[in-house]
Structure 1
Amino acid sequence: MRIQRKPGSKAARPRDAATLIIIRQDGPGPRVLMGRRHGGHDFMPDKWVFPGGRIDRSDFRAPFATDVRTEVALKLDKLSPAGRGRALALTAVRETFEETGLLLGKPGPSRPTVGPWREFLAQGVLPDLDALDFIARAITPPMVPKRFDARFFLADAARLVSLERQADCGELDEIAWFDLKAALALDLPTVTRFVLREVPQRLKDPARPAPFLRFTRGGQNLQHL
């Protein structure tokens, strides 16, 4: 059930967020990582989603092993102020670890720190931003109380440190790998379903322009970036 904002209240300002779509290609067909949100959440309870979340101030200064590739950075810089694109890529990596316990990174020195990056950097790895492709952007509808301006990144599961979750990590109730058809049959938010349909097209054509989906009072607005 979608929670609507209170009648007469102003639409919430969308908050910058990032999401990571991880694909396994070690079987007969590609499989995507999905996670189920806890039923007690006030936002999208029990829905299956990609790992992700809103940007944090620490994402602008977190260390990394490899930087975002030039072609990806150019796309992100067209959509955001300087420096925010890389920070969003770091958001996607950090949130994936927090929600699933999976690390997209390379071995690196442990960095003592506080805040959201403390647990990630304590694992002895640094984020591998070179593994990321930018595949979509979506701004959630104005009628919901929590709104996000989400950038969607894609990465191959082969770039994970391990397919095993780190102990005591993972905010999602359950995570699992689904083939793309089975994933579409899950209980998905509208934006997740839209981006999931984009994944096989992007795997077939890596140069495909990224869709940008926005919701207005009159319906949906779709552009390509």
Structure 2
Amino acid sequence: MVSPADIPIRDAATVILLRRDGTPRVLMGQRGASAVFMPNKFVFPGGAVDPNDALVAPTGLCHETRRALQNDSDADAQALVAAAIRELWEETGQMLGVPGDWADPPRGWRGFAASGHRPTAAGMRFFFRAVTPQGAPRRFDARFFLVDATALITDPDDFGRAEDELSHLHWVDLKAARALDLPFITEVALAELAAHLANPTAPLTVPFFRNDDERHLISRLGGRRPLDHAPEV
């Protein structure tokens, strides 16, 4: 039997997609009851970085986000951003892309390429980081990216191209989201988002839930300028 301390920690990427045509809402879905990791929980779209994500070069990654990711760890910033875009596409059918031919996309990206688009990271901002605590059947070092829904090139209400990993995909009001069955870290991310929306001009630092010991549960990764085109309530 594998000891909890021996479970490998995989890099992962998550998208907090924010919609502001009315009361601020975020896109969430429910994991299946049979899922090994976080069954039945409502989550943001996201998942583990695939080795082929390192072969993808999304356009539009701003210097500030790239620098924050590179300063944060030795993980591949490009692969993290690519994984976030791919997982959003797979789990929701929503696309962050620009028109363009893609002659030989790597495995895992062929459906995206078949749409006639290439991935873009324009508008993605590194917002949150958390490591799954010991004791979970799988562990991830997840980077959360905040993206305004206006960056989508797809209909934000059309989930017809989504795979079946998440059910009950819907846009949920930030306050109403608190009533859903959420992982603890998702509750914290929502609280951070609410605080940011309440004061969007404050210097943005990235909360990091290390989950390595009780004394260092959370830290803040270095200060950054406020988000470009900061979300407004």
Q: Residue in 2 aligned with 1:196?
A: 190
Letter in 2 for 1:193: E
Superposition deviation, residue 201 in structure 1: 2.2
For the pair 1:169 / 2:171, whether they are aligned, the reply is: no
For the pair 1:129 / 2:121, whether they are aligned, the reply is: yes
The answer to whether the 8 A contact 2:4-2:136 is kept is: no
Q: Residue in 2 aligned with 1:15?
A: 10
Q: Alignment partner of 2:21: what SS?
A: coil
In 2, the alpha carbon distance for the partners of 1:8 and 1:158 equals 44
Residues 9 and 178 (structure 1), Cα distance of their counterparts in 2 relative to 1, 3 Å cut: closer
Superposition deviation, residue 168 in structure 1: 5.7
For the pair 1:146 / 2:138, whether they are aligned, the reply is: yes
For the pair 1:26 / 2:21, whether they are aligned, the reply is: yes
**Residue segments in structure 2 that go unaligned for 5+ positions in a row:** 222-233
In 1, the alpha carbon distance for the partners of 2:4 and 2:130 equals 22
Superposed CA offset, 1:172-213 (max 9, x none): 122000110001111001111111111122333263201001
In 1, the alpha carbon distance for the partners of 2:33 and 2:133 equals 21
Alignment of 1:1-225 (within 5 A): 9-27=4-22, 29-64=23-58, 66-81=59-74, 84-162=76-154, 163=156, 164-167=158-161, 169-203=163-197, 204-205=199-200, 207-218=203-214, 221-225=217-221
Residues 113 and 8 (structure 1), Cα distance of their counterparts in 2 relative to 1, 3 Å cut: closer
Q: Alignment partner of 1:212: what SS?
A: strand
Aligned residues: 217
The answer to whether the 8 A contact 2:55-2:106 is kept is: no
CA root-mean-square deviation: 2.0
In 2, the alpha carbon distance for the partners of 1:220 and 1:177 equals 33
Q: Residue in 1 aligned with 2:226?
A: none
- TM-score normalised by structure 1 residue count: 0.89
Letter in 2 for 1:53: G
The answer to whether the 8 A contact 1:97-1:170 is kept is: no
Superposed CA offset, 1:59-102 (max 9, x none): 111143x23101111100012337x0121011011001111111
Residues 168 and 78 (structure 1), Cα distance of their counterparts in 2 relative to 1, 3 Å cut: closer
Sequence identity of aligned pairs in percent?
A: 41
Letter in 1 for 2:86: R
Q: Which runs of 4+ in 1 moved over 6 A?
A: none
**Residue segments in structure 1 that go unaligned for 5+ positions in a row:** 1-5
Q: Residue in 1 aligned with 2:227?
A: none
Q: Alignment partner of 1:115: what SS?
A: coil
The answer to whether the 8 A contact 1:47-1:187 is kept is: yes
Superposition deviation, residue 130 in structure 1: 1.5
In 2, the alpha carbon distance for the partners of 1:111 and 1:194 equals 41
